[in-house]
Amino acid sequence: MPVFLTIETTCDETAAALVTDQLEVLASVVASQDQLHQQYGGVVPEIASRAHVERILPVIHETVQRAGISLADIDAVAVAYTPGLAGSLLVGVTAAKTLALALGKPLIGINHLQAHIYACRMAAGKDVFPCVGLVISGGHTCLYRCRDPLDFELLGTTIDDAAGEAFDKVAVMLGLPYPGGPSIQRAAEKGNPHKYAFPRALLDDPNTLDFSFSGLKTAVRYAITGPGRHDPSQVKLSDQEVADLAASFQEAVVDCLVGKSFRALEITGFSRLCVGGGVAANKRLRTRLEEEAARRSVELVIAPLKLCTDNAVMGAIAVEKWKAGLFDNLYLDAEPGVVRRPSPVGSG
């Protein structure tokens, strides 16, 4: 039974996993960097890459130990090489290429965003393709037409901030700790989601599946300070004001994500929606998606919480590339990448 070592270092988690060609997870280890970035209110790329250098070998070693095998038992080495932070990606790619060369094993490059959707396949325990795939994280907000595990067509993406990035930035304005997603979710539980009429940019535009959260972020700032010049950190907010602002902001983001996702289902004609990425852990989003899916008789597959944030289990998509005979050579390089612009809505 072939065994795959998968490596993930696209942003601020150093992760490795061992999976079989039957998608059995033998071991998985994730080293988070949340504490390193907390004082900055977001991920600092240089700090992230240095932490990966320190942690990559211990994480791989621990993964192999937990699985009870040796490196010699591995049949292929897979690594996320795109998209992500340049320095972070380089650490994982360099480690993977070194191992592949030293062990004489095939090398498989993984697209990080496709892997987030494959986390739904791992959770479902069955084929989930074709589907509309929604990837929502700190760096990306994308909708895909997923014809099969390796055939992804971009339908829409953010034109400015990603959803997770907006959560982090708004959390700073509200004086909430990093990471912003969980902090805003907790605060929102005691807030009124209809207190502030924040914008839902592009939600009602039938000609695009793109997202925009920058204006929403600015609207929160103005709700705190009033239009113009003041620093939100200088404004003293009550606990209830923080809760209401968090709830109203969260509801606006959720409205956009849910609305665009089900619009994508209408355009593609698919009846299955798969959702992955760190923001997919948001309770309000999961509830709204479940309600809308039930109303429309759509099959919804959301990655479980442990597979929402970056991990190496989702790197099991390498099994699909293995079966298709798609391997890489030692010229594989990190591709930080910009998500390519989508085709016009309804094309294809």
pLDDT digits (tens, 9 = 90+) for 49-100: 999 999 999 999 999 999 999 999 999 999 999 999 999 999 999 999 999 9
156 shares its domain with 293: yes
Tokens of residue 317, six digits: 């998509």
48 shares its domain with 183: no
210 shares its domain with 84: no
Q: What is the pLDDT of residue 8?
A: 98
CA-CA distance, 161 to 154, in Å (whole number)?
A: 17
Q: What is the pLDDT of residue 39?
A: 85
Q: Within 10 A of 34 (CB to CB), how many other CB atoms are there?
A: 14
Flag whether 123 is in a domain.
no
Q: What is the pLDDT of residue 338?
A: 57
Flag whether 343 is in a domain.
no
**List of the chain residues with pLDDT < 50:** 341-348
For residue 180, what are the CA distances in angstroms to 2, 61, 74, 224?
A: 39, 31, 38, 17
CA-CA distance, 120 to 302, in Å (whole number)?
A: 6
Flag whether 221 is in a domain.
yes
181 shares its domain with 221: yes
Q: Within 10 A of 323 (CB to CB), how many other CB atoms are there?
A: 12
61 shares its domain with 209: no
Residue 220: strand, helix, or coil? helix
Domain that holds residue 20: 3-116+309-323
Flag whether 333 is in a domain.
no
CA-CA distance, 93 to 216, in Å (whole number)?
A: 36
Q: What is the pLDDT of residue 42?
A: 83
Flag whether 273 is in a domain.
yes
CA-CA distance, 330 to 162, in Å (whole number)?
A: 32
108 shares its domain with 198: no
302 shares its domain with 316: no
Q: Within 10 A of 322 (CB to CB), how many other CB atoms are there?
A: 18
**How many CA atoms lie within 13 Å of 7's alpha carbon, on the beta-carbon side?**
35
CA-CA distance, 262 to 288, in Å (whole number)?
A: 12
Q: What is the pLDDT of residue 330?
A: 96
Residue 36 contacts by C-beta under 8 Å, 6 or more apart in sequence? 12, 44, 47, 48, 51
Flag whether 317 is in a domain.
yes
53 shares its domain with 93: yes
40 shares its domain with 168: no
CA-CA distance, 17 to 313, in Å (whole number)?
A: 6
Number of domains in the chain: 2
**What one-character DSSP code corresponds to residue 202?**
T
Q: Which of 67, 18, 64, 41 is nearest to 311 (CA)?
A: 18
User: Residue 64: which CATH number?
Assistant: 3.30.420.40
290 shares its domain with 319: no
71 shares its domain with 135: no
25 shares its domain with 45: yes
CA-CA distance, 94 to 81, in Å (whole number)?
A: 10
- The phi-psi region of residue 31 (left if phi > 0; otherwise alpha if psi is between -120 and 50; otherwise beta) is beta
- State yes or no: cis peptide before 130, omega within 30 of 0: yes
Give φ, ψ of 206 to 5 degrees.
Answer: -75, -5
What's the angle, vertex CA 54, arms to CA 49 and CA 59, rounded to 5?
A: 105
Flag whether 136 is in a domain.
yes
